[in-house]
Structure 1
Amino acid sequence: MSTSSTTTTTKPALPQDSPQPTNTPITLLNTPLAQTYTHIHPILLLSIYTARFSATVADPVSSLSQLAVVTAVLQSVYAVTCLPPTSEGSATKNAEGASSASNGSGGKWTKKPARTATRKGSLGARIWPATLSLLLTPPLALPPLTALAILLGAPLTTHFPHTLLLSLHLALLSAFPVLYTHGVSARTWRGVLGLMRPVDEVVGGALGALLGAWLGCVPVPLDWDRDWQAYPVTLVTGAYVGYVVGKVAGGTVMRGWVVSFD
């Protein structure tokens, strides 16, 4: 008489406090105000910047310092009104469906499914994450952005206040919304900067601001003898225009697309 034994193996469960990050585009809050203000926000940003353009050309340090306060307020209103904070975003479930895969060694645009609609939550529950993200933005984003600007050719021994203000505006336009919606996860930030996260309003705006500021370098060395060519006016202008273009494109025609290097 023989007996047989069955060996059962179990896989270790993932820690409950380390949920897998969602690699899907964010969804705006499901409120009429959010759906309306997301279109008004870029118009307000560009209108205020255009109104302050002459003052920025005449006195960049003073004008950009004042404009940074206005931009911080507008970005905070946009975040609280339209975007799910990190706590709400992590509680949403991924939409079902497979994304298209890329074959070969080169990069390829693929499309990711969007998250399901997020719960509304209370306004007060979103004000604190927005405040915290705004406070964290300068210490976390200013050093690398300033160093990057200097590495790319910004003056090192002169015009340091100009470079610092350029970095501050870039941080408010690009880093703050990502901090608010995705937190300080290093994996998330590597995905955004490495073009591996799906495009949405937040990612599109962040990449657009950085690309716009880089393209804004072009007019600076040209021999046109115009006042507005002075550093960093064209770079800040490019950042604002790039942010608006990236935000709009990320929320519409480019929503859900990601570069795959598989």
Structure 2
Amino acid sequence: MASATAKGAYAKTSLPTDLLPTDLARIVSQTHPALLLAAYYIRFPAFVADPVSTLLGSLLPLAVIQIVYATICLPPTGSSMKPMRKPKIGALKKTTAEGPPGRPLTAFFALLLCLVSVPILTILQVLFGAPATTHIPHTLLSSAHLALLAIFPLVYVHGADSGKWREIASFYSPIDEVFGGAVGCLLGAWLGAVPIPLDWDREWQKWPVTIVTGAYAGYLVGKAAGVWLLKGKRIELD
């Protein structure tokens, strides 16, 4: 009964996240998946040959891509889009003065929380079967990639809103490209573990190649579903 009550409250108050209403935001949002996919595809052979060095070297480019995407396309936490729809002179001045500086600060805050989430994601990976005493750098770095893909956009948009995070943790947040991308990323990482124990004797089966590949693929699929297929819908677990 309490769960149904909470879901009813969410349904009344929670809305999916919309892109910023600019042409640049629409263009960047559409090219963002292609850029991630191309960058991952190009580095995949190096990733299979040397996972630790490749994951480490890819962190900064991935962080830059995610920061650019978030600051151009997504409303920062605490922002309102009403001034864009009702262009009053005072509101426009306030948006011009306070909007741009707030985005870098929000991105910095989101990156800090990404760092905090890395050990949590690492523990979760160990609980789901990652090597506990070996391949520790591999697991930490794969968790850092998961954090930048899934956690960073969520924090950028929702900040420290405890009610929203309870909704996200219960998988009852309305689906949009941010929440859809996060769910797809985590689900893809989980499904990526399937080929590891199979007796195919392939180099790409080693830890954590399939995990990270599944995370990237799931992120792109979930993001696309949140834009084109499922926006505003909710995951029903019961």
TM-score, length basis structure 2: 0.85
Aligned to 1:192: 168
Identify the match of residue 18 of structure 2 among 27, 44, 54. Answer: 27
Residue 132 (str. 1) matches residue 132 (str. 2):
no
Matches of 2:81 and 2:31, distance apart in 1: 26
In the TM superposition, what whole-angstrom CA distance separates every residue of 1:100-120 from its partner, at most 9, and x where no partner exists? xxxxxxxxxxxxxxxx89x97
Identify the match of residue 233 of structure 1 among 175, 189, 209. Answer: 209
Q: Report deviation, 1:194.
A: 1.5
Q: Report deviation, 1:133.
A: 1.1
Aligned to 1:14: none
**RMSD value, Cα:** 2.0
Matches of 2:166 and 2:130, distance apart in 1: 24
Q: Per the alignment, do residues 22 and 172 of structure 1 end up closer, same or farther by CA in structure 2, a change over 3 Å counting?
A: farther
Identify unmatched segments of 5+ residues in structure 2: 1-11, 87-91
Aligned length: 216
Residue 85 (str. 1) matches residue 85 (str. 2):
no
Q: Report deviation, 1:185.
A: 2.5
Residue 211 (str. 1) matches residue 187 (str. 2):
yes
Aligned to 1:71: 62
In the TM superposition, what whole-angstrom CA distance separates every residue of 1:172-206 from its partner, at most 9, and x where no partner exists? 00000000000122322221131111000100000
Matches of 1:249 and 1:241, distance apart in 2: 12
Identify the match of residue 43 of structure 1 among 34, 47, 50. Answer: 34
Aligned to 1:108: none
Residue identity in the other structure for 1:134: L
Q: Report deviation, 1:143.
A: 2.2
Matches of 2:203 and 2:29, distance apart in 1: 33
Residue identity in the other structure for 2:73: C
Q: Report deviation, 1:260.
A: 4.8
Q: 5 Å matches for 1:95-244?
A: 122-139=99-116, 141-244=117-220
More helix as a share of residues: 2
TM-score, length basis structure 1: 0.78
